[in-house]
C-alpha cells in the first residue's frame, strides 16, 4: 500500500463539496454590505418615510466615496410615536431578514445525515442545491415585489440548504479523505466558509454590486454557484464508506477508493472500513435521548455542543458586523476596505490552521485560540470605553479586531466542525452530527436576532453611537462566554491519540 497522498480526484471532490460551504459563508456575509440600501427599500415598499440623517451617516460608513452634501426636508422625517413604531417595524423586519437564515438552518440540520444515508452523499448534495437555487431566485427578484417578504423567504430557504450541507459536507470530506490527511482536509469546510464571507464583502462594495441598482443581483448571485456545483457533482465519486458500510457494495466501494487514492491497492482502506463496519453492526442507531442518558455518549455530546456554542457566542459575528464603524472611528477614510482586510486575515489564518491542525493538535489549537480571543475582546472593549479620553485607543481596538479574527481561525473556527465526527463511532455519529449542527445554528440564530436589539437598548442608556454601544455590549458579553469557555477547554476538552477509520480515540 502506498503512502497516503493527495490525488487530482480527491482535490476535485473536496473542492466540489466545499462549494456548498462557500455558499454558507457567502450567505452569512452578503446581507451586511447592502444593509442600509435594503432597509431604505423596505421603507419605500412599506410607505415609511426615510430618516435621511441616519441614512446619510450609514452611507459614510459603507460607501467607498466621500460623504455627499444633501438637504433634508423636515417633513420627510417621521417624529414621536409614529417614528418609534416605524423604527421598531424596520428593526424587526431587518432582524428577521438576517435571522431567518438561521431558522432554516436549525430545521434542516436534523435532516442532513438522514438525507445522506437515504440518497447517498452526492445525490443528497444535488437535491440540496434545488433549495439553494430557489432561495437565490427569490432574493434575486426581491426588487420587483414585496422585498421584505421575498428576502425573508429566500433567506429561510437558503438557510434550509446550508443546514443540510453543514452536516453533509464535513461527513463527505471526512469519508473520502485518507486517514493521515483527514484533519487537514476537514478544515476546508471552514476555509470555504471564510472565503465565501470575503467574496461577499468584495462584491458587496458599492461600485460593484452593493448599490441601489444591483443589490438584488448581489443576493441572487448564489444561483450561479448552485448550477455549477450541480454539474460538477456528476463527476465526483460517491463516499466509499457509504457504499461499503451502508449499502454493503464492496465492489463499488473499491472502485471509488481507486479513483480517490490513485492506486489499485486499497487494502488498507478496505480493512479500516471492514473493522468499522463490524463495530457498527454491533451498535444500533442511537437516539438523541440516548446520547444524554448513556454514560458512554454523555460527555462526548456535551463537549460537542459546547464546542459549537463557544464558536458562535465567542463574538465573531459581532466583529464582522461592527468592524466597519470602528475603523471609521479610527479615522480611516474608506473603512469598508479595512473590513475586507478583516475578511482577508480570516482567510489567511484559516489556511494557517490547515497546516497546523495535524501537527499542533486539536486541543492545543482550540486552547490557543480561546485564550487569544479572550484577551483581544478585553482590549477591544477598553479601546471603545476610553476612546473619548485617548484618541489612540481606537487603534488598540482596530489591532485587537485583527488579532481576534486570527485567533478564531486558528482553533475555534474550524475545529468544531470535524471533531464531532471523530468523537463518535458509526452508530451514534449521524445523530451526534445532527444535534451538534442544530446547536451551532440555534446559537447563530440567537446572535443574529438579538444583536440589533442589544445595540438599540444599550444606545438608550449610553453616550456612544449605536455601532460603538452595540460593539461594547457584544464584547463584554463575549468576555463572559470566553472566560468559562477557556476554563472548560483546560479541564474538559479531551486529549486524542488517533484511532481506526473515521473514529479517533479521545480521553474524556
Residue 418 exposure: Cα atoms within 13 Å on the Cβ side: 31
Is-contact 14 176, C-beta < 8 A?
yes
pLDDT higher than 50, residue 476: no
Pick the last residue of a domain from 282, 316, 345.
282
Residue 77: inside a domain, yes or no?
Answer: no
* Maximum average pLDDT range among 9-18, 97-106, 165-174, 370-379: 9-18
What band does 455 get if pLDDT is binned at 50, 70 and 90?
low
In this structure, of 68-82, 257-271, 302-316, 410-424, the range with the lowest mean pLDDT score is 68-82
Q: Which of 282, 303, 318 is the last residue of a domain?
A: 282
How far is residue 507's CA from residue 496's CA, in Å, rounded to a whole number?
6
Q: Which residue has the cell 483581544?
A: 376
**Sign of torsion, CA 461 463 466 469?**
negative
Let me know if residue 32 belongs to a domain: yes
Same domain? 249 vs 318: no
Please name the helix (run of DSSP H) or strand (run of DSSP E) that holds residue 507, with its range, or none: strand 506-507
291 and 328 co-located in one domain: yes
Q: What is the pLDDT of residue 342?
A: 85
pLDDT tens digits for 403-422?
988 998 888 887 887 777 77
Residue range(s) defining the domain that contains residue 374? 286-508
Q: What percent of the chain has pLDDT over 90?
A: 23
Burial status of residue 47 (CB atoms within 10 A of its CB: 0-12, 13-18, 19 or more): exposed
For 72, residues 6+ apart whose C-beta sits below 8 A from its C-beta are: 52, 53, 56
Of the listed ranges 96-100, 245-249, 494-498, the least confidently predicted one is 494-498
In the structure, what pLDDT confidence band is assigned to residue 452 with cuts at 50, 70 and 90? low
Residue 496 pLDDT exceeds 80: no
- Decide if pLDDT at 54 tops 70: no
Q: Are residues 206 and 260 in the same domain?
A: no
Would you say residue 132 has pLDDT above 50?
A: yes
What domain count does the chain have? Answer: 3
Residues 54 and 2 reside in one and the same domain:
yes
* Residue 411 covered by a domain: yes
Residues 107 and 196 in one domain: yes
Residue 422 near residue 361 (C-beta atoms within 8 A): no
Residues 326 and 360 in one domain: yes
At 29-51, the pLDDT tens digits run: 888 778 778 888 888 888 877 65
Residues 221, 246 within the same domain: no
Question: Would the pTM of this model clear 0.85, i.e. be above it?
Answer: no
Rounded distance between C-alpha atoms, residue 131 and residue 232, angstroms: 17
Return the sign of the alpha-carbon dihedral for residues 166, 373, 199, 34: positive
The Cα-based distances of 132 to 4, 230, 358 in angstroms read 34, 11, 33
Question: Closest Cα partner for 241 from 162, 182, 164?
Answer: 182
At 465, the pLDDT band (50, 70, 90 cuts) reads very low
Per-residue cell: 236: 465526483
pLDDT of residue 170: 86
Name the domain boundary from 177, 205, 236: 236
Amino acid at each position: 500500500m502506498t503512502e497516503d497522498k493527495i490525488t487530482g480526484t480527491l482535490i476535485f471532490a473536496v473542492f466540489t463539496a466545499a462549494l456548498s460551504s462557500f455558499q454558507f459563508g457567502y450567505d452569512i456575509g452578503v446581507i451586511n454590505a447592502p444593509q442600509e440600501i435594503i432597509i431604505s427599500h423596505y421603507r419605500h415598499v412599506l410607505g415609511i418615510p426615510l430618516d435621511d440623517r441616519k441614512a446619510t451617516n450609514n452611507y459614510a460608513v459603507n460607501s467607498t466615496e466621500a460623504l455627499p452634501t444633501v438637504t433634508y426636508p423636515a417633513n420627510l422625517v417621521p417624529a414621536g410615536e409614529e417614528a418609534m413604531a416605524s423604527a421598531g417595524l424596520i428593526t424587526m423586519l431587518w432582524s428577521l431578514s438576517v435571522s431567518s437564515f438561521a431558522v432554516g438552518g436549525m430545521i434542516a440540520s436534523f435532516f442532513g445525515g438522514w438525507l445522506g444515508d437515504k440518497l447517498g452523499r452526492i445525490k443528497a448534495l444535488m437535491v440540496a442545491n434545488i433549495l439553494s437555487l430557489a432561495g437565490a431566485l427569490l432574493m434575486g427578484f426581491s426588487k420587483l415585489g414585496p422585498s421584505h417578504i421575498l428576502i425573508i423567504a429566500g433567506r429561510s430557504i437558503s438557510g434550509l440548504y446550508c443546514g443540510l450541507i453543514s452536516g453533509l459536507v464535513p461527513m463527505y470530506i471526512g469519508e473520502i479523505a485518507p486517514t493521515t490527511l483527514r484533519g487537514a482536509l476537514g478544515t476546508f469546510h471552514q476555509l470555504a466558509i471564510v472565503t465565501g464571507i470575503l467574496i461577499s464583502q468584495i462584491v458587496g462594495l458599492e461600485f460593484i454590486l452593493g448599490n441601489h441598482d444591483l443589490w438584488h443581483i448581489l443576493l441572487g448571485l448564489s444561483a450561479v454557484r448552485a448550477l455549477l456545483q450541480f454539474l460538477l457533482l456528476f463527476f465526483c465519486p460517491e463516499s466509499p464508506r457509504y457504499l461499503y458500510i451502508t449499502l454493503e457494495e464492496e465492489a463499488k466501494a473499491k472502485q471509488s477508493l481507486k479513483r480517490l487514492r490513485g492506486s489499485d491497492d486499497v487494502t488498507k482502506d478496505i480493512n479500516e472500513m471492514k473493522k468499522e463496519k463490524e463495530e457498527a453492526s454491533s451498535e444500533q442507531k442511537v437516539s438523541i435521548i440516548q446520547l444524554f442518558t448513556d454514560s458512554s455518549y454523555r460527555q462526548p455530546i456535551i463537549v460537542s455542543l459546547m464546542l459549537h456554542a463557544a464558536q458562535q457566542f465567542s463574538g465573531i459575528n459581532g466583529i464582522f458586523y461592527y468592524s466597519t464603524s470602528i475603523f471609521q472611528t479610527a479615522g480611516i477614510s474608506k473603512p469598508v476596505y479595512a473590513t475586507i482586510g478583516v475578511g482577508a486575515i480570516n482567510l489567511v489564518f484559516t489556511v494557517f490552521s490547515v497546516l497546523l491542525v495535524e501537527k499542533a493538535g486539536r486541543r492545543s489549537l482550540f486552547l490557543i485560540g480561546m485564550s487569544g480571543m479572550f484577551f483581544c475582546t478585553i482590549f477591544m472593549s477598553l479601546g471603545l470605553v476610553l476612546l473619548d479620553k485617548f484618541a489612540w485607543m481606537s487603534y488598540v481596538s482596530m489591532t485587537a479586531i485583527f488579532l481576534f479574527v486570527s485567533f478564531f481561525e486558528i482553533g475555534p473556527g474550524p475545529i468544531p466542525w470535524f471533531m464531532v465526527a471523530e468523537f463518535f463511532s458509526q452508530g451514534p455519529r449521524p445523530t451526534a452530527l445532527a444535534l451538534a449542527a442544530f446547536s451551532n445554528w440555534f446559537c447563530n440564530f440567537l446572535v443574529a436576532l438579538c444583536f440589533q436589539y442589544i445595540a438599540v437598548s444599550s444606545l438608550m442608556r449610553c453616550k456612544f453611537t449605536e455601532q460603538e454601544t452595540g460593539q461594547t455590549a457584544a464584547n463584554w458579553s463575549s468576555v463572559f462566554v470566553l472566560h468559562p469557555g477557556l476554563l472548560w477547554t483546560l479541564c474538559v476538552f479531551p486529549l486524542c491519540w488517533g484511532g481506526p477509520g473515521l473514529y479517533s480515540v479521545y480521553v474524556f
